[in-house]
Structure 1
Amino acid sequence: MRAPVVTIAVDGPSGSGKSSVSRAVATRLGLAYLDTGAMYRAATLWCVRSGVALDDAGAVATAVVAMPLEMGVDPAAPTVCLDGDDVAEAIRTTEVSSVVSQVATNLDVRAELRRRQRAVIEAEATGGFSGGRGVVAEGRDITTVVAPDADARVLLTASEEARLRRRSLEVHGAADADAVEATKDQVLRRDRDDATVSQFLVAADGVATVDSSDLDLDQTVEAVLAVVAHVTA
């Protein structure tokens, strides 16, 4: 008998560990993995490279609708390609991080990327990389807007201190006071800006909360898998 299709939605603030955890969960369960945050970063890079003024909401939306974006959903090696160009590293630069919220808070952009995200989720339910087994999709509004009917919905959170420390280590390779201070804009300001258009700081009804403040990666993965097992039993 064919195993049931599983859609797992994971939301959370910057530095909560949702990307690493979601990839690990997808790997453990043999599912596809979709990083929706990378899609917003790619849209930002596309607009910057195309010379589109990010404060021109209409022009940004038009550019994103035409954007030739291809997302690779293998959790072992997820890819982000713009017009055939691998931009997985380019979208993580400070240049993109400092302005991505201007694009991510554009409601027309969100509508377009949500359409694409739902298309990936549907594709993985019928075939795609996972052979129709399903997908782990992570971002800011997956549990509430993109996939509110997902089989398992998780809000992955952590204390401000833990999130700043993690992102500082990721970006600067250190977690001393200077490195943490340099990371605050990418974490706290982005969360504040993005919270104006999506709910990812407090779990919506029916969404399980996993606090990873005092958990390592393996422990957090096990906590999320326990939620999945419980709601899909």
Structure 2
Amino acid sequence: MPGGTSVRPHGGQVALRGVVAMDGPSGTGKSTVSRRLAQAFTAAYLDTGAMYRAATLAALRAGLTDLASDAEIARVATGACMKSGTDPAAPTITLDGEDVSAEIRGPEVTAFVSAVSAVPQVRTELVARQHGLIAAAVEQGGGIVVEGRDIGTVVVPDAPLKVYLTASPEVRAARRGRQDAKAGRQTDLHVTLADVERRDRLDSSRRISPLYAAADALVLDTDRLSADAVLDRLRALVVERGLDG
């Protein structure tokens, strides 16, 4: 897949060693706590979901829909020039040189991303790019927090710390509705809940890299936990596993 990678340079002593794999469905607070965890330990951060969303945006801009063939989707999605920035303070994703960090969160991309993510050729290409970014961060002598839906099961199955965040569909829909409203996007709780449940079904039932918790992952229900409480638990786990240093 054309396009380079961008690994955040670390200043001073790196406090996280290795990879923290963060998995779970949307609306569990995964992005918020992953970024904050990376910042707390002076680590890089990678949002793999943003990569699939950028690939989806490329397909949409090419006029493709969910009725397009896997071959058509793969041709456009893997041919797009994407670049991922891994600074947790300001993560970026560009498509053909354009910052699309906001556009990929829109309803059109959200409605199509599960279909694009299920195409085997797309997953193969993007996982290879993810491996490159992860390796670059670790080779610099540091660590990286990687979030997505198949990090602990497929992308980095040997990660020394795997966490799977979960929450009820109702709570996740309410959270996503608040995020949409904050971003100026119109929101309807019933529509959002239906979309959350639809994506859960698609992501957990796809043939390639379905969404599920790795056998050795810590499963953490965030229904009644604040982001601060989840972050405290994650920071303690990093220390317990001896990944700080």
1:15 corresponding residue in structure 2: 27
- AA of the residue aligned to 1:200: L
| Structure 1: runs of 5+ lacking an equivalent | none
Q: CA RMSD in A?
A: 2.0
In structure 2, what is the Cα distance between the partners aligned to 1:50 and 1:164?
30
1:135 corresponding residue in structure 2: 144
Which of 118, 136, 154 is residue 145 of structure 1 equivalent to?
A: 154
Which of 51, 69, 93 is residue 39 of structure 1 equivalent to?
A: 51
SS where residue 155 of structure 1 aligns? Answer: strand
In structure 1, what is the Cα distance between the partners aligned to 2:132 and 2:226?
33
1:182 corresponding residue in structure 2: 191
What's the CA shift string for 1:179-204, capped at 9, x where partnerless?
32121233111111011233434x32
For the pair 1:211 / 2:224, whether they are aligned, the reply is: no
Task: Indicate conservation of the 8 Å contact 1:208/1:227, yes or no.
Answer: no
Shift of 1:63: 1.8
TM-score (norm: length of structure 1): 0.90
In structure 1, what is the Cα distance between the partners aligned to 2:79 and 2:211?
28
Q: In the superposition, relative to structure 1, how do residues 30 and 61 fare at CA in structure 2: closer, same or farther (>3 Å)?
A: same
- AA of the residue aligned to 1:190: R
In structure 1, what is the Cα distance between the partners aligned to 2:219 and 2:65?
38
SS where residue 195 of structure 1 aligns? Answer: helix
2:5 corresponding residue in structure 1: none
2:86 corresponding residue in structure 1: 73
1:194 corresponding residue in structure 2: 203
| Structure 2: runs of 5+ lacking an equivalent | 1-12
What's the CA shift string for 1:14-35, capped at 9, x where partnerless?
1111000100000001111100
Sequence identity percentage: 43
2:232 corresponding residue in structure 1: 222
For the pair 1:111 / 2:124, whether they are aligned, the reply is: yes
Task: Indicate conservation of the 8 Å contact 1:210/1:223, yes or no.
Answer: no
SS where residue 71 of structure 1 aligns? Answer: strand
